[in-house]
Amino acid sequence: MQREPQSFDRVLSSMCSEPHPLAREAAERFLATNPGDPGTYPTVTALEEEALATLGEIAGLENPSGYIASGGTEANVQAVRIARNRAETRTPNVVMPESAHFSFQKAAGVLGVDLRIVPTDERFRADLEAVRASVDADTALVVGVAGSTEYGRVDPIPALGEIARDAGAMLHVDAAWGGFVLPFSGDEWHFGHAAVDTMAIDPHKMGQAAVPAGGLLARSDDLLDELAVDTPYLESTSQATLTGTRSGAGVASAVAAMDELWPDGYREQYRRSQENAEWLAAELEQRDYDVVEPTLPLVAAEISGSTFEALREEGWRISRTARDELRVVCMPHVTREMLASFLEDLDRLERGASVPVASDG
Amino acid sequence: MQREPQSFDRVLSSMCSEPHPLAREAAERFLATNPGDPGTYPTVTALEEEALATLGEIAGLENPSGYIASGGTEANVQAVRIARNRAETRTPNVVMPESAHFSFQKAAGVLGVDLRIVPTDERFRADLEAVRASVDADTALVVGVAGSTEYGRVDPIPALGEIARDAGAMLHVDAAWGGFVLPFSGDEWHFGHAAVDTMAIDPHKMGQAAVPAGGLLARSDDLLDELAVDTPYLESTSQATLTGTRSGAGVASAVAAMDELWPDGYREQYRRSQENAEWLAAELEQRDYDVVEPTLPLVAAEISGSTFEALREEGWRISRTARDELRVVCMPHVTREMLASFLEDLDRLERGASVPVASDG
């Protein structure tokens, strides 16, 4: 019996979305290619160069170094790996805010570095004093988040860059989710705004490319060289990626999405998503829920655990913050109609009613 | 201008192939899913369980633990990571034959373990005496290759299992490429034949699934638990994969390919590929080239560097062994006709003729 993938019509939890039609078409065409083997698959290797150039343009970096990774986790692990390999200490540490993604825990365990987690301020951004107090001569990397997973917050990247530079450490910016909305939000987040060394920026999140299309950017080739291993039996001579065989579908899909949408299509999507987030936040506040202001298209609000579970029973794909708040990510597939229908279910469940109410109710 | 992926009609170097039509169809249907987020994408998570069960059946392991990885490199890195995390020493080492894939170099660098590379014997298989001489109390892992990248050789896995057990080390088998032909070759290579702890076995190589569909198998859940990190904001509670977001396309594609082809379709493909390899080897020997006997569907032969380059000029995608031999991998897309046409070009180039010869020439 043939299984079908879930539809996206009740998915509010994912940081991935439905790929743009052109991105899907490109992914399907390049399904049988492997950019990990450039000698055999030259076309997709050329496409990866195009993808990298556009990512650099988006992130304020001329002549970017980097590659299309499996996702933000690989990009974050690789950034920690670069910093660890360059550090002159045998006991390197990484300083990051508690708002950073759990993939840094994975990176620390895999790479054997000490993770120093500092608190965030009342606006859920890295507490600069705490970061200053945590860096020392063994600090290899300072991590800044540009669009945090829980609240969509952007850390003060320029200030983090100064702290890192003063400590002789590198600065990595995790813009895996935020990278395709931040060009339009007025935030300071990229290589052009601060002393950023590496960045995670994922076409397969807000970039509307198909999975797997993450992005690792590095300020210069010598940083990427820290990752290179020799590659016998391939016509290429070295490989800097964490994986070996890679998906050409993701690469081709990223190029197709960015060619079509950068910059106007992404600007328009940012506007739609941000307006949806602000509308949902206002509706929830009207209902007296505690809401975390959506500075990017991501809404968090306090609802009871029982209501959360009941909404999941209704088929809504929702997730929680560490403080058990409801978390709704306003991805491209999330429409105003979806959010209205979600609110209807929420209202009905909170009233304990067993029948749906009319949409004007 | 729209780019097109290369066709496979001159690809002799790749260990990936054209996916089976059903595998391609499944990959396209599940392009917008992420098994890394089971709470949001339950269908593909169920499919991953099916894929794992079939991989276990192929590899002689009941109730297998593991997951669909990005490829053999991730599976090899994760196996080394499991062994490192379980080792009771602070200076763990990994003992492997020189025939092992370069991804173990990557793993050693990433994970900070000492790599002890031992020579192979005259049949290009791990030299057991050399392995015995290299293991010690700090040995966390012994690696055996079941279908080596250069010559398609299978190490004496049961003997390696005994050496590992006596040393208190784990045994990892890299069957990334070999796993879908070895069930029919009569070799002893899997969990049912030896004390194997972990294995790399890739549906996206001889398994005819779409990239990315690698496989990591572990004898028991407690081994996989060594990799688990907590996952906030996901409805799942922990994640053992090296990457975060993963391709549902690869997972669905692996299930579709294995449902269709295991075991009869794979047996038939093994027979075709092996016959092609033996035919090519015989043809090359007739022409007085030094040929490495293809014990699995992979042929290596000594040709001059200038001829190698000339063949690449003709559009043939070929690669070299470390000893600079020509390497031809008889994947499912490699037909007898392709090999005959390759030999025609080889003959013409060796004769130094500048015009193509008739196919009976």
pLDDT tens profile B51-84: 999 999 999 999 999 999 999 999 999 999 999 9
Distance, C-alpha A353 to centroid of its chain: 38
Contact, A98 vs A271, CB < 8 A?
no
A354 pLDDT band, cuts 50/70/90, is very low
- Strand locations in chain A, DSSP E? 65-69, 93-97, 114-118, 139-145, 170-174, 198-200, 214-218, 229-230, 238-239, 291-292, 298-301, 319-320, 326-329
The encoded tokens of residue B293 equal: 């006997």
Closest partner residue to B110 (CB to CB) among A37, A72, A111 is: A111
Are residues A321 and B233, on separate chains, in Cβ contact within 8 Å? yes
Q: Which of B25, B28, B29, B211 to mutate to test the interface with A (most CBs of A within 10 A)?
A: B211
pTM (two decimals): 0.95
Which pLDDT tens digit goes with each residue over A300-311? 999 999 999 999
Residue A58 has pLDDT above 70, yes or no: yes
Q: What does the pLDDT average to over B321-333?
A: 96
3-state secondary structure of B291: strand
Are residues A6 and B46, on separate chains, in Cβ contact within 8 Å? no
Contacts of A159 (CB under 8 A, 6+ apart): A128
DSSP per-residue string spanning B344-360: HHHHHHHHT-SSPPPTT
Which pLDDT tens digit goes with each residue over A33-42? 999 999 889 9
How high is the pLDDT of residue A237? Answer: 76
CA-based R_g, chain A, Å: 21
Say yes or no: domain A264-352 is CATH 1.20.1300.10.
no
Q: Which of B80, B98, B115, B245 to mutate to test the interface with A (most CBs of A within 10 A)?
A: B245
Contacts of B89 (CB under 8 A, 6+ apart): B137, B138, B140
How high is the pLDDT of residue A54? Answer: 98
How high is the pLDDT of residue B2? Answer: 66
Nearest CA in chain A to B251: A5
Which pLDDT tens digit goes with each residue over B250-279? 999 999 999 999 999 999 999 999 999 999
Residue A111 has pLDDT above 90, yes or no: yes
The encoded tokens of residue B189 equal: 């290579």
Q: What does the pLDDT average to over B121-137?
A: 98
Predicted ipTM of the assembly: 0.93
Residue B353 has pLDDT above 80, yes or no: no
Percent of chain A whose predicted confidence (pLDDT) is above 90: 91
How high is the pLDDT of residue A2? Answer: 66
How high is the pLDDT of residue A50? Answer: 97
Distance CA(A142)–CA(B199), nearest Å, equals 36
Distance CA(A21)–CA(A331), nearest Å, equals 15
Work out the mean pLDDT of chain A and round it to a whole number. Answer: 95
How high is the pLDDT of residue A165? Answer: 98
How high is the pLDDT of residue B113? Answer: 98
Contacts of A356 (CB under 8 A, 6+ apart): A344, A345, A348
Residue A103 has pLDDT above 70, yes or no: yes
Percent of chain A whose predicted confidence (pLDDT) is above 70: 97
Q: What does the pLDDT average to over B123-130?
A: 98
What one-letter code names the amino acid at A239? Q
How high is the pLDDT of residue A361? Answer: 38
Task: Check the CA dihedral A329-A330-A333-A339 and report its sign.
Answer: positive
Are residues B110 and A81, on separate chains, in Cβ contact within 8 Å? yes
Which pLDDT tens digit goes with each residue over B229-246? 988 877 677 899 999 999
What one-letter code names the amino acid at A295? T
Residue A30 has pLDDT above 60, yes or no: yes
3-state secondary structure of A55: helix
Residue A359 has pLDDT above 70, yes or no: no
Which pLDDT tens digit goes with each residue over A84-102? 999 999 999 999 999 999 9
Nearest CA in chain B to A44: B5
Taking the domains of chain B in order of start, what are their residue ranges? 21-261, 264-352
Q: Which of A211, A311, A331 to mutate to test the interface with B (most CBs of B within 10 A)?
A: A211
Residue B361 has pLDDT above 50, yes or no: no
Q: Which helix (H) or strand (E) holds B222?
A: helix B221-225
Closest partner residue to B14 (CB to CB) among A29, A40, A111 is: A40
Question: What residues pair up with A202 in beta bridges, in sequence order?
Answer: none
Contact, B233 vs A321, CB < 8 A?
yes
A21-261: CATH, from 2.40.40.20, 2.60.40.10, 3.40.50.10190, 3.40.640.10 = 3.40.640.10
Q: Could you check whether A21-261 and A264-352 share the same CATH topology?
A: no
Contact, A146 vs A154, CB < 8 A?
yes
